[in-house]
Structure 1
Amino acid sequence: MATSPQGVPYEQLAHYVNADGQCIFTRCWAPPTDIEIRALCLVLHGAAEHSGPYDRLAIPLTGCGVMVYAHDHVGHGQSQGDQMDITDFNIYIRDTLQHVDVITSKHPNLPIFLFGHSLGGAIAILTAMERPEQFTGVVMTGPAITVHKKLTSSLTMNLLRFTSYWFPKHELDKINPEHVSRDPKEVELYRTDPLVWHGGLKARFVAKATAAFQQIQNNMSSIEWPFLILHGDADNLCDINGSKMLVERAKSTDKHLQVYPGHYHALICEPPKDAAVVIRDITSWIVRRIPENATKPDDVHYRD
């Protein structure tokens, strides 16, 4: 039996097998048995991290009747795959759509939302572009939509292409934990989390992600589905201008950018009082968009 990168047999872990035969680790947070399931939400984490910390968002959602699922992207956390390397960004989209199919087959006829943070925001956008009619809404925190300022020159981009082709696993800049949150406790949790990739972002990964961001920008005007973006204006990891661009260009009539002054990148990991406001804003946006007639199927299983 295949084992996770941590050596745990997948027969002991919730997972699905993707099209490449890799085991993708999954999580599920179910509402209490006395609360009716009214909607589904799939959480998509950011680069170098994993799905575990999103329980702080998932648990409040379950209290509102939302069944929450998540997975560790290939090459992340407890999923198989070369760590922080990807040959095709569409693999993230393909795996996400497969997970969507898994959970909607378990809970048919329920509205489904996507939540994506950082790189997960880019994945959520491209996933919703693939199936624009399937998702009731998309929520993003600090989404990665534009390239880092360091990569804006043609010389730098050419160097990145060269490096990603000849030295795909070459490590570039590391994510600075100090830029993740203003809360020192959260910074230390991130710094010491064994499931977080603490090395540099690999060249091929950066090149493929950069191309995906350009794909999003090229197709923003086709977006018509409802979405909410939440972004800190002191975010040093993902440029807020990408979020502003998406709100400006998308055709959606239900779209909003919520800016939090002085907040860093991981909004739900900011100091407790600030994080609570963000989580409340996310939860209330989703709940307000659950159709009133959305009820659980008779055969639903509350605990997977």
Structure 2
Amino acid sequence: MNVKDFQFFIRDSLQHVDLMKSRHPGLPIFILGHSMGGAISILTACERPADFAGVVLIAPMVQMNPNSATPFKVFLAKVLNHMVPSLTLGSIESKWVSRDPKEVELYDTDELTYHGGVRVSFGMQLMGAAARIEREIPTIGWPFLLLHGDDDKLCDIIGSKMMYEKASATDKKLKVYEGAYHCLHHDLPEVVESVLKEVSSWITERLPAATSPEPQSS
């Protein structure tokens, strides 16, 4: 949770895309991102739009939460970033991850999940990424599917609505899950089932039709 430049995430994602292209030439590429991974996916696709057949975003970080990024807090973060960049701010409240208590418990006990506070320096990187996404949105022409819970306290749904309304793409869809929290793919069972069906069918519909082999001449 201490990266000097958000671009590192985009660089690594594109490196992986290049690896997949070399291993599976000719296959369409889709990228799926959740939360901060959604922000990474958006900026990755913006960097090389021709590489992607579609982008799926589950509760993506498009904008900073207006309650946590007030003008005063942003100003304070900039000051602290110069003085004590390693200072940690508040951590994520796990109760807002899912409405399923079992999923919250799994999140709390997952050793691969960072449970500490967000450093000021990383918060600045997130704000920079959100500002960059806002500038890029009007130019977005690639197909995308947005899924978001309207009771998401971690990544505000206004960002997804703004992206859907302002992106120039003609192939775009926003599906809102009423009452759902942040991790839609780990929410209540019926939401999880719907999300998986929605994502798989959306991708399948955008796969190129299989072409029949040319008849052999005798």
With the length of structure 1 as denominator, give the TM-score of the two structures. 0.68
Offset, 1:149: 2.1
Distance (Å, rounded) in 1 between the aligned partners of 2:96 and 2:81: 25
Are residues 1:187 and 2:104 paired? yes
User: How far apart are residue 220 of structure 1 and its match?
Assistant: 0.8
Which structure 2 residues correspond to residues 59-98 of structure 1 after superposition, within 5 A?
A: 84-98=1-15
Residue of 220, 227, 232 corresponding to 2:144: 227
Q: Go from structure 1 to structure 2 and tell me whether the alpha carbon gap of 1:122 and 1:97 turns closer, same or farther (over 3 Å shift).
A: same
> Who is 2:87 aligned against?
170
Measure the CA separation in 1 of the matches of 2:82 and 2:23: 41
Report deviation, 1:201: 1.2
Deviations 1:70-116 (A, max 9, x none): xxxxxxxxxxxxxx111111000001000111111111110000000
Identity across aligned pairs (percent)?
46
Match of residue 71 from structure 1:
none
Select the structure that is richer in helix. 2
Question: Aligned partners of 1:260, 1:153: CA distance in 2, in Å?
Answer: 27
Number of residue equivalences: 212
Amino acid at match of 1:221: P
Q: Is the 8 A contact 1:150 1:156 kept in 2?
A: no
Report what 1:283 is aligned to: 200
- Answer 1 or 2: which has greater strand percent: 1
Following superposition, which runs of at least 4 residues in structure 1 exceed 3 angstroms of deviation? none
Separation in 1 of the partners of 2:190 and 2:74? 40
Counterpart among 200, 223, 243 of residue 117 in structure 2: 200
Tell which has more relative contact order, 1 or 2 (C-alpha 8 A, sep 6+).
Answer: 2
Quick check: 1:216 aligned with 2:133? yes
Length-normalised TM-score, structure 2: 0.94
Where does residue 67 of structure 2 map in the other structure? 150
Q: Does 1:259 align with 2:171?
A: no
- 2:156 is aligned with what amino acid? D
* Amino acid corresponding to residue 28 of structure 2 in structure 1: P
- Aligned position for 1:127: 44
Cα deviation, 1:212-235, whole Å, max 9, x if unaligned, reads 101111121100000000000010
Question: How many angstroms apart in 1 are the aligned matches of 2:87 and 2:210?
Answer: 52
Q: How far is 1:151 from its partner?
A: 4.0
Give distance in 2, aligned partners of 1:176 and 1:98: 33
Structure 2 residue runs without a partner (length 5+): 213-218
Point out where structure 1 has 5 or more consecutive residues left out of the alignment: 1-83, 296-304
